[in-house]
Every structure is written in structure tokens, then in C-alpha cells.
Structure 1
Amino acid sequence: MRVAPSDEAREVARAAAQWLALMESGEAGADDHAQLQVWRNSDSRHEHAWQKIQRLRERFSALPSALAMATLDRPDAARRAALKRALGIAALVPAAWLLSRQVPLDVWRADLHTSTGEHKRLRLADGSSVQLNTDSAVNVDLAAGQLTLVRGEMALDVPGDSALIINVPYGRIIVSHSEICVRLNERDCNVSVVSGSVQLQPSSGPELILDQGQQIRLQASGAGAVRAFDASMPSWRDGVLMAQNQPLGDFLRELSRYHPGVLRWDPELEALRITGSFRLDNTDQVLSLLAASLPIDVQQRTRFWVSLVPRKLSQSKKTV
């Protein structure tokens, strides 16, 4: 049985595919090639992913030389253009193939799913309301009275006396007359009760009741310690990302879940602190607000390729 790759492995594969797309775009400059080399050298997993995608590129882009030369030698501009388009598509095939390998099929086949930056709210036939956060997937089986969180994060509001079960890899959550948020991470699952109370049935360890304003992490080994949180604070359910004296690196890692494309930042920025409330429907605006309040510059090649650097570094480069 094939083991599903971790979130980290998916991110590395996605980054490798995006680097390939940039290199093949014809717009990559010397700085881009240098940054790619830095990325490859920074982690052995990066280099492994890059070599893998290069091998796939060679496999898919190889065309019989006689066919290629015969077509290119013809004076028909339309035929030359068609071959160039074919070569371009062939170069991008391994990137798409590698990404599809890194995203499990059950995500694509899920009953409900969202893309990066997308939120979705739906009312189920039983009157319950389900909301999906960015890059999430859920299967719904109302006949069996259950939902299965396949990926990402969801909120479920079950009114009245009806009950629904949320299945996660680490157990089951029974929700009745309550509102709950569930986030599936790489090695655990965070469960937060917004209102009411829910029953948790971990796959290992005793059952327990979780009340409003409490949260817990479910793991393969069982349930962790119960922690408190402010259920009245705005959250992703309201389209808001909150930060209270939070390290900028942690904030950016969370923001990157909502940002389409590549979002990178200089390690020097990790320790900066950020406080505020930010709308999630426009991550470009969030980055602009960060640049206005912190000593950072936003380098934006396209909306899908953004880098944050310390302002002093950016200014020194401009003076060279």
C-alpha cells in the first residue's frame, strides 16, 4: 500500500515544480538561477526533488530528433509554432505529474473540497452547516451520519438534537448541538469547541468530553492535554487571521496556507514580531501591510511568486 506523503514532502515537491516552471518560462534571470541554487543547497530533500523532476522532464520532453528537425526545418510557421507549444507542454508535464503524485487521490475525489485561498460554507440536508478552510477536503455520508476530514480544516455546526460524527485518522468526534473546528496536521489533529460540548473517541486511550472554549490535540498515541482558547475571537471562520505578538515566521507560515503560489522569506525575518488582525481574502494586501509596519520589502515577480527580504538588504542591492 502506498503511504501518503507528508505535508512537508508535498511542499518540497510543489516548490520544485514551481522552480521548474520559472526556469522553463524564459523569464528567469541570473538572480533566479542563483536563488534556485541556494534552495537546492539548503536541504538535501530540495536537491532530491529537483533531480527527480529533472529526470521526469527528460523522460517526457524527449522527442525523436528526426521528427523534431524535420518539423523545424519546414518553412511553415504554424508547424514550428505547434512543435514549440508541444515542447513547452512536455516540459511542464513532469511538474504536473509530480504534484498529482504528491496530492493523494482521496483529496481530489472528496465530496467537498477547496483550493488554496478558497473558503466554502454549505448547509447539509439535516440542517447542519459545514465550512471548509483553505486547501481542505471532506467526505459526507449523511445516511451514516458522519463526515470524514481528508485534508485541511473544517468547522461544523450541528443544531438541535441531531448528531454527526467527524472521522479523523486519530479517532472520532461526536458533535450534537455544538459548533466545532477540526484541523488536520501532519502528525496530529487539533479539535476546538466553539460552542456546546462534544464527545471524543480517540483511536487510542479513553473517551472524553470537550467543552466550549477548550481544545485538544489528537494523536496516534491518544489525546493530549486540554487547553483553553477564546472562542469569541475572530478566526478563519470569519475570514480573519489574528496575531498577538507572534513571531513573523510563524505568522507567514500560517499566511502561506492562504496565498496562491510561492511565498518565501529571508530567515532573518523569522524573529520579528507581529500584532494585528488581517483579512484572509487578500493576502497581497496583508503583505503590503506587513511592509508598511515592519522593516521588510516585498519582492513580487508575479502574484504567484513573492519573496520578503529585510529592507536593509533590499536597499543595499539598489545602491550597487
Structure 2
Amino acid sequence: MSGQPSAQQRQIAREAARWLTLQESGEFRDQHHAELQRWRERSSAHEAAWQKADALRQRFARLPGTLALASLDRPDLGRRRALKQALALGALAPVAWLGYRQLPMAAWRADLHTATGERRSFDLPDGSRLQLNTASAVDLDFADGRRELRLVQGEIAVDTSGGLTVRTGQGVMLASRASFCVRQYPGGCLVSVMAGEVQLQPRNGAPVVLQQGERAGLSAEGTTRAERFDPQLPSWQQGLLVVDNQPLGAFLRELGRYRPGLLRWDPALERLAVTGTFRLDDTDKVLALIAASLPVEVHYRTRYWASLVPREKLG
């Protein structure tokens, strides 16, 4: 599947988002049912986009389709204006759906997956323990003696006491008795070993073995130099984001992985430093803590659209 959606795919997704927003707005009438059906029948791409939008609605009751609901108790003019704004906002959703925050169709079809901001744990058939981080997807293959995971998207943590293989588009990771994390990036992945050892086998390169407390990048052509890290530090596996003097821009980009909707900030804030331990279960609270400790303000256009700006100087 192509990493970037075409212009036609984006347009169809925008149309699906508008239909979804209208359907959830309370303004959906009988005539709209027929119009929506005709739209869905235009092509298989239209139907696939609608199925994806409808799946999102069922899995994320919080996504943009519900944003128009808050306007329903307003007078007609305000209500129509709010609905128009909601429709415009709904058009933004496909950018997230089809971009880096969207689970592609392959991910929705995966055996195990998580939504944005969701983390889940699973016991695998061989007794291994698997954790999925936000917006992640994995296929399982334990048939005929195989013990294999395929990381479709996102990030996983694996704790295995037997032979287990994790496969990505760049290569495979082989572990016997180990605890390790694999995070997928465009064109590569980062492998971190908390215990034991893991062999990295690039698709077109020489194998490398990582020991406890080491991490390295894996691409199709090879691996990066292994670097040390502290495997005892809390992480997303404990529902925490721990940073020490990290630039605010980098911090917000990481936090944004766990937050549905749009998170924006003034470029002037990029280099402010953040230190602390933050719980990932409540990103609104994290933003409030940032505003309380740094000279920034958080403005909410909607619950799902937050912007950080420099705090105005007093006097």
C-alpha cells in the first residue's frame, strides 16, 4: 500500500467525512439517505472510504462527526453556521485518517490494533506477552509451529520466553528469551532491548545482535550503530511520558501521538525546555501542566483542536 494517498483519495475521504459529519449532526434527512447511497455507488473507492469512515465512527465516538452535536440547541442561524463550521472541520479529518495518524486499511484488517491514545495488552498463544501502543496494528501467525508477529503500524513491546519473530517491511527481529520494543517509522523502525538479546536481520543487510540496554534503527539496507539507554526508565508501557530538558516542540510531537484531533503550537515555543513525568491517559491535563510551568497558553477551538501560544506579557 502506498505511503501517501493520492489527490483523488484525499478528495473522496473529505467527501466521506462531510457525509459522516452530516449524518451525526441531526440534520440528516430522508433525501440525504438516497444521496449518500448514490455517492457510495459511484465507485469501489467511494464505498471503501465510507466503510472506513463508518468504522471510525463506531470505534471512536469522539471523532469529528460528533462535533456538530454541540450546536443543536442554538437558534436556527447559529445552528446553521455551527453546522457549516462543523462540516468544514470534518473535511480536516481525512488528512489525519490518510496521513501519519491514520491506520490504513491494512491496519484495520490486522488481527490486533489500537486507536489513537489507546494502549492494549495481549497474551499470545505461545505464552508471550504483547503490548500495543497508540495507533498500532499487528498480524499474528502461530499456525503450523510458526511464532511470528508482523508489525503493520505503530509500536509494540514483546516479552517472550521462547523463540519469536517480529517482522516489518525492513526485516525481521529474532528473539529467544527477551523483552524488547519495536517502533515503526516511515522507512524504518527502532528496536530497543530491555532484557535478553535480539537479532536484527535487515532485508538486504548483515545481521546485528542487540544486548540488554541497547537500541538501534533497522532499515531494509542495514542497521544504525547501537546506542545505550536505561531500560529501567518508565515508558509508555507504564502509561508514562518521561522527559528531561526536552525541547517543547519534540515533546508535543510525541504527545500528539496519543491525542485524537489536532495539536498545534506557535513555532516560537519550539525550544522551550520540558522536564517531568506525565501520564498519557489524560493529554488535556498534560497540556494544563505545561501551561502552568511554562510561559504558554492553551487555546481550545474544540475539544479536539488545541493550540499552544506564548503567554502574553502582563503590563
2:297 is the counterpart of 1:311: no
Q: CA deviation at 1:220?
A: 2.6
Q: What residue in structure 2 maps to residue 64 of structure 1?
A: none
Deviation at 1:96, TM superposition (A): 6.4
Larger Rg: 1
Aligned to 2:151: 149
Question: Scaled by the length of structure 2, what TM-score is found?
Answer: 0.70
Aligned residues: 246
State the match for 2:239 in structure 1.
239
Partner residue, 1:5: 4
- Say which SS state the counterpart of residue 257 (structure 1) adopts: helix
**1: CA distance between counterparts of 2:205 and 2:110?**
29
Aligned position for 2:229? 229
CA positional deviation for 1:100: 5.6
Please identify, of 300-309 and 102-111, the stretch whose mean Cα deviation from structure 2 is larger.
102-111
In the TM superposition, what is the alpha-carbon distance from 1:5 to its structure 2 partner? 1.9
Partner SS, residue 312 of structure 1:
coil
| Mapping of residues 160-175 of structure 1, within 5 Å | 162-175=162-175
Query: Which 5+ residue runs of structure 1 have no aligned equivalent?
Result: 26-55, 61-83
Q: Which runs of 5+ in 2 are unaligned?
A: 23-45, 51-79
Deviations 1:60-107 (A, max 9, x none): 9xxxxxxxxxxxxxxxxxxxxxxx9xx989989876667665553111
1:188 CA displacement: 1.6
Residues 271 and 93 (structure 1), Cα distance of their counterparts in 2 relative to 1, 3 Å cut = closer
Contact kept? 1:200, 1:210, Cα under 8 Å: yes
Q: Aligned partners of 1:264, 1:224: CA distance in 2, in Å?
A: 31
When the two chains are superposed, the root-mean-square deviation of aligned CA atoms in Å is 3.3
What's 2:111 paired with?
111
Corresponding residue number in structure 1 for 2:253? 253
Residue 233 of structure 1: how far off its partner (Å): 0.2
For 1:28-43, what aligned pairs fall within 5 Å after superposition?
none
Matched residue type, 1:298:
V
| 2:263 alignment counterpart | 263
Shift of 1:221: 2.1
What is the TM-score when the length of structure 1 is the normalising length? 0.69
8 Å contact 2:205–2:220 — kept in the other structure? no
Equivalent position amino acid for 1:104 in 2:
P
Taking only the aligned residue pairs, the percentage that are identical comes to: 47
Alpha-carbon contact 1:154-1:181 (below 8 Å) kept = yes
Mapping of residues 86-235 of structure 1, within 5 Å = 103-143=103-143, 144-159=146-161, 162-235=162-235
Query: For residue 48 of structure 1, what is the aligned residue in structure 2?
Result: none
Q: Secondary structure at the match of 1:5?
A: coil
**1:112 offset after TM fit, Å?**
0.5
Distance 1:278 1:140, change over 3 A: same
Q: Deviations over 1:220-243 (max 9, x none)?
A: 321110101000000001111011
Aligned equivalents of 2:136 and 2:148: distance in 1?
17
Matched residue SS, 2:250:
helix
SS of match in other structure, 2:258: coil
The runs of at least 4 aligned residues of structure 1 exceeding 4 Å deviation read 87-103
Q: Is the 8 A contact 2:296 2:310 kept in 1?
A: yes
Residue 73 of structure 1 aligns with which residue? none
Report the CA distance between 1:213 and its aligned residue.
Answer: 0.2
Distance in 2 between residues matched to 1:130 and 1:236, nearest whole Å = 13
Query: In 2 relative to 1, CA 298–94 (structure 1 residues): closer, same or farther, beyond 3 Å?
Result: closer
For the Cα contact (< 8 Å) 2:170–2:187, is it kept in 1?
no
